[in-house]
């Protein structure tokens, strides 16, 4: 990234990329504490082999132990606690004294989505190149996020359970999680239930061990045994504490926003490149224009584009104003209004990242435990609420997907302008290398771009308008955050083609 890009979105991305590079050093260490996870760290775990562990901090141990004691006090007092001695969701009017069996029952009824035989035989990809399984990187990201959230001490999940969860990452054991089947309402119950099922050594849960050509598919119980990991026995609330949360959606959103931010900066560089190729009059990037309409993103985009153009020998209007000449006096909209076009979406991307990073360090299950005063478990309280509703992530992903579509539309227009001899300021038709009567160099790419743009536009519609009531109408509203993340990752891929 060129020097001079000191503004908020670009500088934040630069810092993120620098941190990611540092996290790939052999000496890199990731100690989770429940409060300091960020996008770069999630990407490092998911895609670059960084192995996390629990921070050696007595305060973490204290708050987790205290949360368990508060729960035990409620049980000893004969009080009702949702999901511990009640049924789940719309069945919460039932009661039970079989507290441990209830947690296993929870896993069993949420492990209900579809993985096909071909997924298991081929390790995620079927004969048509399709998959019904969540990509391994997404699952690893979800595991580190869930571990971090559970360390906050509001869930009554033992540190030993969190350490076992992290040991899956350390041994490259990845639960095979169905791609479809979560509405991200009571968190992502279904995806997390397959991860929790791995922890208990459920023989009906399949995992992959290793990567590349050495990757093998096997039952969870066999993988744990092979790697010397002791299966956990769920205590009251631990099943619920593991699976009732937003971790899969927040994890996927982290991977998405990391890519989206890079595409946004590249789009500004491509805008400068387009202006260069068209011998543009780039006074539209002049600081004065954006100072008198001081939207943060617009000012930043103009500054970034000026920086990319700084060494150009082809544009005019950057340092000295054009006074005379023939032809089109001002550049067309696809470049001239680029700062105004892309600027609001830089602001949206920055907000989306803030929403995601808050979620990475939040307690997102239900019920949640206020541990109260140290060593006085009787002073603690347990509250039923809705922190599992992942709408913050839906909001982040829907606005990111819209941003990607708008960036793509700008680049599509710029590309069309470059290829079309009626608008490309004297360049050869179709940007041919030879005789234009015999060569049509970029004509195929012109058609390709139309296909990419149509697909990208089809993905831009917000998923929040497609919500359906679920689970006995108990989950009458649900966020669809994971679906929004999936669609936005698709948009990242399509926009990468346009770039």
What is the CA 369 to chain-centroid distance, rounded?
Answer: 27
- Give whole-number Cα distances, 102 to 87, 299, 380, 412, 471, in Å: 8, 56, 23, 55, 18
Full 3-state SS string of 27-81: CCCEEECCCCCCHHHHHHHHHHCCCEEECCCHHHHHHHHHHHHHHHHHHHCCCCC
DSSP state of 465: G
What is the CA 213 to chain-centroid distance, rounded?
Answer: 27
Q: Count CB atoms within 10 A of the CB of residue 437.
A: 8
The owner of tokens 């700062």 is: 339
Q: Is the dihedral of CA 249, 254, 257, 262 positive or negative?
A: negative
Question: For 322-325, which contacts have Cβ atoms below 8 Å and span 24 or more sequence positions?
Answer: 322/281, 322/283
Q: How far apart are CA 423 and CA 362, in angstroms?
A: 51
Q: How far apart are CA 182 and CA 200, in angstroms?
A: 21
Q: How far apart are CA 272 and CA 95, in angstroms?
A: 65
Angle at 386 between CA 381 and CA 392, to 5 degrees: 130
Q: Are 193 and 278 in contact (CB under 8 A)?
A: no
Length of the chain: 499
* Residues assigned a catalytic role: 82
Q: How far apart are CA 270 and CA 83, in angstroms?
A: 53
Q: How far apart are CA 132 and CA 137, in angstroms?
A: 15
Checking DSSP bridges between strand 30-32 and strand 52-54, what pairing results, if any?
A: parallel
Q: How far apart are CA 400 and CA 382, in angstroms?
A: 35
Q: Is the dihedral of CA 154, 238, 51, 359 positive or negative?
A: negative
């Amino acid at each position: 990234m060129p020097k001079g890009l000191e503004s908020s979105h670009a500088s934040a991305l630069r810092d993120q990329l620098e941190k990611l590079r540092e996290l790939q050093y052999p000496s890199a260490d990731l100690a989770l504490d429940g409060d300091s996870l960020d996008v770069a760290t999630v990407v490092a775990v998911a895609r670059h082999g960084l192995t996390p562990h629990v921070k050696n901090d007595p305060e973490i141990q204290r708050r987790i132990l205290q949360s368990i004691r508060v729960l035990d006090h409620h049980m000893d007092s004969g009080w009702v606690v949702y999901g511990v001695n009640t049924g789940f969701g719309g069945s919460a009017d039932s009661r039970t004294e079989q507290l441990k069996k209830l947690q296993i029952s929870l896993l069993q009824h949420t492990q209900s989505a579809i993985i096909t035989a071909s997924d298991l035989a081929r390790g995620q990809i079927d004969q048509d190149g399709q998959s019904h399984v969540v990509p391994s990187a997404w699952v690893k990201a979800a595991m580190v996020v869930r571990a971090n959230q559970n360390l906050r001490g509001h869930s009554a999940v033992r540190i030993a359970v969190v350490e076992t969860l992290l040991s899956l990452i350390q041994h490259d054991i990845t639960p095979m999680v169905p791609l479809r089947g979560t509405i991200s309402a009571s968190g992502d119950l279904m995806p997390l239930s397959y991860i929790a099922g791995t922890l208990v050594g459920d023989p009906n849960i399949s995992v992959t061990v290793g990567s590349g050509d050495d990757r093998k598919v096997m039952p969870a119980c066999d993988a744990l045994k092979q790697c010397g990991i002791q299966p956990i026995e769920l205590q009251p609330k631990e099943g619920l504490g593991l699976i009732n949360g937003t971790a899969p959606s927040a994890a996927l959103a982290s991977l998405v926003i990391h890519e989206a931010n890079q595409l946004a900066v590249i789009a500004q560089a491509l805008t400068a490149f387009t202006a260069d190729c068209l011998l543009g009059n780039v006074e539209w990037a002049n600081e004065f224009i954006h100072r008198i309409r001081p939207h943060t993103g617009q000012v930043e985009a103009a500054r970034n584009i000026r920086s990319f153009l700084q060494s150009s020998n082809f544009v005019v209007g950057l340092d000295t104003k054009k006074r005379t000449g023939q032809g089109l006096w001002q550049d067309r909209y696809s470049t001239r209004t680029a700062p105004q076009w892309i600027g609001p979406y830089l602001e949206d991307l920055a907000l989306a990242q803030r929403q995601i990073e808050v979620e990475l360090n939040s307690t997102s299950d239900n019920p949640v435990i206020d541990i109260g005063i140290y060593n006085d478990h009787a002073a603690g309280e347990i509250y039923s609420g809705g922190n599992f509703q992942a709408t913050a992530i839906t909001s982040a992903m829907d606005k990111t997907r819209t941003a990607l579509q708008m960036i793509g539309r700008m680049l599509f227009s710029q590309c069309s302008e470059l290829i079309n001899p009626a608008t490309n300021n004297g360049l050869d038709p179709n940007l041919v290398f030879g005789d234009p009567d015999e060569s049509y160099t970029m004509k195929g790419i012109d058609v390709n771009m139309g296909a990419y743009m149509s697909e990208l536009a089809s993905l831009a519609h917000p998923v929040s308008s497609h919500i359906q009531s679920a689970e006995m109408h108990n989950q009458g509203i649900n966020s669809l955050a994971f679906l929004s993340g999936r669609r936005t990752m698709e948009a990242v891929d399509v926009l990468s083609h346009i770039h």
